Amino acid sequence: MKQKAYAAAGVDIDLGNKVKGTLPQLLATTHRREVLGKVGGFGGLFALNVKKHRQPVLVSSADGVGTKLKIAFAMNRHDTIGEDLVNHCVNDIAVLGAEPLFFLDYLGTGKLEPHVFTEIIRGFVRGCRANGCTLIGGETAQMPGFYQAGEYDVSGTIVGVVEKSRMLNGQKTVRRGDVLIGMASSGLHTNGYSLARKILFEQLKLQPGDFLPELHNTVGEELLKVHVSYGPLVQALLKKFNRNGKPNTVKAFAHITGGGFVDNLPRVLPAKCDAVVRKGTWDSLPIFELLKERGGVDEAELYQVFNMGVGMVAIVAAEQADAALRFIRAQKHKAWHIGEIVKGTGLARVE
């Protein structure tokens, strides 16, 4: 049979349709009853349950996973990237108190490799299922000549909902004397990989498959550790401590992504308060110790590029801080008192 002209040009529509034929079964495992229609329509349909909320506010976010993809390419392992992306997006809306409803993905590649596509989608599904949201649709683009051979890019969009009166706004509620509770990360999560790759692979001449005793892991596997989702934990904290619906106990959250403490904590601070993060108050992870000791990078910059072992910060009223900390630990999450809110000008500093 003569090859179709578009396939000869690098875009195989038939292959794409064949690969996508497996999607309905995969996506069905993330189904929520609010979903209407079927997979493959021009738009995903979601009937918001307005009876559940008096004043529902939709919260949305979009993101990618940056150059962490380079590690996936080097390791030829693609089953974690999708989960990373879902969890990152969930965390970004969780800081407002939002419950995730549905997620959409975008995958762009030069040549569609069926096994790679399936691994990525399985990661999306695993992340959505764990966070209680539906993978409602997405887009897969074959663009020959646009990407390097064997490479691709992914991004995602999430939509969630929160009751307006329960929405977190630290700029209105955070006060001097409030306590910072840091929740453990699994590693770099999805930020700082350009610097980490430069240190590990260019300066130290390591390979992704190299085993390092201090990490108890290979470099590649360490860097592919999945971004933690704090979404269910945030919801549990709010239900436990903000029982009357008012954010007067658990006041704010900051997702510690690119920019570290210095750039992310100010996003939830009032203009007359500073956040002080105390170094040495949490258990550092070996990967960050390695980057600090052998990277030749100023320590202040490390705390602005990486999460340094803390992926989410809760700002809690001082009188409930110990109880909140015990609750987080009871949910099997490592957490610590890492600082406090003081008088200031809306900045964060690490001391």
> Which has the higher per-residue pLDDT, 318 or 25?
318
Q: Which domains does the chain have, with CATH numbers?
A: 5-166 (3.30.1330.10), 170-350 (3.90.650.10)
State residue 112's pLDDT score.
85
The tens digit of pLDDT for each residue in 168-212 reads 999 999 999 999 999 999 999 999 999 999 999 999 999 999 999
Determine the Cα–Cα distance for residues 314 and 38; give it in Å rounded to an integer: 38
Strands 179-184 and 310-316: antiparallel
Average pLDDT rounded to a whole number, residues 112-122 = 91
At how many degrees (to 10) do helices 81-94 and 68-75 cross?
160
Q: 85-101 burial, b for 16+ CB within 10 Å, e for fewer?
A: bbbbbbbbbbbbbbbbb
Average pLDDT rounded to a whole number, residues 5-13 = 67
pLDDT above 70 for 9: no
> Which has the higher per-residue pLDDT, 40 or 85?
85
Average pLDDT rounded to a whole number, residues 298-304 = 93
State residue 42's pLDDT score.
82
- pLDDT band for position 6 (cuts 50, 70, 90): low
Please tell me whether residue 266 adopts helix, strand or coil conformation. Answer: helix
Tokens of 53: 């909320």
For residue 14, count other CB atoms closer than 10 A to its CB: 10
pLDDT above 70 for 15: no
Determine the Cα–Cα distance for residues 134 and 46; give it in Å rounded to an integer: 9
pLDDT above 90 for 158: yes
In contact, 159 and 45? CB cutoff 8 Å: no
Which residues does 246 contact at the CB level (< 8 Å), separation at least 6? Answer: 165, 166
The tens digit of pLDDT for each residue in 251-288 reads 999 999 999 999 999 999 999 999 999 999 999 899 99
Nearest to 27 by CA among 81, 102, 99: 102
Give me the chain's average pLDDT, please.
Answer: 92
pTM, whole model, 2 decimals? Answer: 0.93
